[in-house]
């Protein structure tokens, strides 16, 4: 899915964003700015990796003052693009830059979540399922299907864009472009944002979304291709993760387990959560509270699966489980 880049005049400065459904942005800024506002829309659309890069460059531009005109921004975008890593075929000049003025009393079309409370609740359930996960767009759609949701493409785009603007989810390009400068030279590295693989595992091929060569990760290819233009949808950290991060100020019954897993096995926070979930599963046969808690959360699941990319450390995650099992 390609996206558009646009600027919005907020509090005396131009602020740059990406969108795959402007209707969501119109409503968001209408509510946020409480009155008339202006947007500057760049066309054509760009791939996610390109759009994120351009948005970040423009956000750092020194010409963000409110009096920057359409022509000034046109020059700035062209200069930025031509000095950047992407080809002219992806953003051919002259491109279109349209100023959109919205009045205080303009009708703002709102669809999807704002019209249907049922959808809103279903969407919240989806967001709960997304906690601690990083999914490709196809996987996100599969998640909807497993929840029995059959939203149109338009509603899906609207919901996703609204959640992104409200920072309920994070959107990342599948491959990260890292620029470093040292000893007067700049180097560029690419890294997969799903499995963490670096440059050596990147493969370049022509891509119709980027309209030029674009890298994908060979390391995690069996789980679906992650390109620089692929969208990774990341959920918020769960409350447990947040508590864990601030564990010094709280005490929970499971805190000792967590401390043990980290201190003895050296597990990371994400590995610890997976191990803990396994320990809860094993405990359900012996402990009524755990059993009910687990059954409630997992609809009476009989099997436990740890699912993670290659190299995530699944083996280490099951050490605590294998130690515990013989003593049960
Ligand atoms: Zn990868
Ligand atoms: Zn691409």
- Residue 38 pLDDT more than 80? yes
Q: What is the pTM of this model?
A: 0.70
- Residue 47 pLDDT more than 90? yes
3-state secondary structure at position 140: helix
User: What is the rounded distance in angstroms from the CA atom of residue 317 to the CA atom of residue 310?
Assistant: 13
Average pLDDT on 315-320 reads: 84
Q: What is the pLDDT of residue 207?
A: 92
Average pLDDT on 136-157 reads: 87
Query: In the chain, what are the helix, strand and coil shares in percent, each to the nearest 5?
Result: 45, 20, 35
Residue boundaries of the structural domains of the chain: 3-102, 112-169, 172-234, 239-327
Q: What is the pLDDT of residue 260?
A: 65
Q: Which is higher by pLDDT, 84 or 35?
A: 84
- Residue 328 pLDDT more than 50? no
Distance in Å, CA 252 to ligand 1 centroid: 35
pLDDT > 70: percent of the chain: 77
Q: Which ligand is nearest to the CA of 208?
A: 2
Which residues touch 234 (CB under 8 Å, ≥6 apart)? 130, 133, 134, 135, 169, 170, 171, 172
- Residue 165 pLDDT more than 80? yes
Per residue in 224-271, pLDDT tens?
Answer: 999 999 999 998 766 555 554 554 434 444 556 666 666 677 788 888
Residue written as tokens 């506002």? 37
Q: Which ligand is nearest to the CA of 197?
A: 1
Contact 155, 135 (CB under 8 A): no
Which residues touch 126 (CB under 8 Å, ≥6 apart)? 143, 144, 147, 149
H or E, element range at 204 = strand 202-207
Average pLDDT on 60-85 reads: 82
Per residue in 182-234, pLDDT tens?
Answer: 777 888 899 999 988 998 999 999 999 898 999 999 999 998 999 999 999 99
Ion ligand 1 residue ranges (Cβ < 5 Å): 192, 194-195, 197, 217, 219-220
What are the beta bridge partners of residue 227? Answer: 216
Respond yes or no on whether the N-terminal peptide bond of residue 94 is cis (omega within 30° of 0): yes
User: What is the rounded distance in angstroms from the CA atom of residue 313 to the CA atom of residue 271?
Assistant: 7
Distance in Å, CA 228 to ligand 2 centroid: 6
């Amino acid at each position: 899915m390609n996206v558009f880049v646009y600027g919005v005049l907020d509090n005396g400065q131009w602020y740059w964003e990406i969108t795959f459904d402007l209707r969501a942005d119109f409503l968001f800024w209408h509510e946020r700015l409480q009155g008339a506002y202006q947007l500057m829309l760049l066309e054509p659309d760009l791939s996610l990796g390109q759009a994120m890069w351009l948005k970040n460059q423009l956000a750092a531009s020194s010409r963000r003052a409110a009096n920057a005109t359409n022509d000034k921004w046109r020059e700035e975008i062209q200069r930025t693009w031509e000095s950047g890593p992407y080809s002219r075929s992806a953003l051919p000049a002259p491109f279109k830059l349209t100023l959109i003025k919205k009045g205080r009393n303009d009708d703002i079309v709102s669809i999807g979540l704002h019209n249907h409370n049922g959808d809103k609740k279903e969407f919240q359930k989806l967001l709960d399922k997304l906690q601690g996960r990083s999914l490709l767009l196809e996987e996100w759609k599969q998640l909807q299907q497993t929840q029995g949701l059959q939203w149109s493409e338009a509603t899906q785009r609207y919901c996703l864009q609204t959640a992104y603007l409200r920072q309920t989810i994070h959107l990342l390009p599948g491959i990260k472009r890292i620029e470093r400068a040292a000893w007067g030279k700049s180097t560029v590295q690419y890294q997969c944002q799903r499995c963490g693989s670096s440059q050596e595992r990147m493969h370049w091929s022509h891509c119709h979304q980027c309209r030029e060569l674009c890298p994908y990760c060979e390391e995690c290819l069996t789980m679906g291709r992650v390109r620089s233009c692929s969208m990774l949808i990341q959920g918020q950290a769960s409350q447990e993760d947040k508590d864990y991060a601030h564990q010094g100020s709280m005490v929970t019954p499971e805190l000792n387990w967590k401390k043990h897993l980290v201190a003895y096995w050296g597990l990371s926070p994400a590995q610890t959560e997976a191990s803990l979930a396994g320990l809860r599963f094993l405990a359900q046969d012996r402990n009524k509270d755990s059993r009910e808690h687990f059954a409630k959360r997992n609809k009476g699941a009989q099997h436990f699966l740890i699912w993670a990319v290659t190299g995530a450390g699944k083996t280490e995650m099951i050490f605590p489980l294998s130690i515990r099992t013989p003593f049960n």
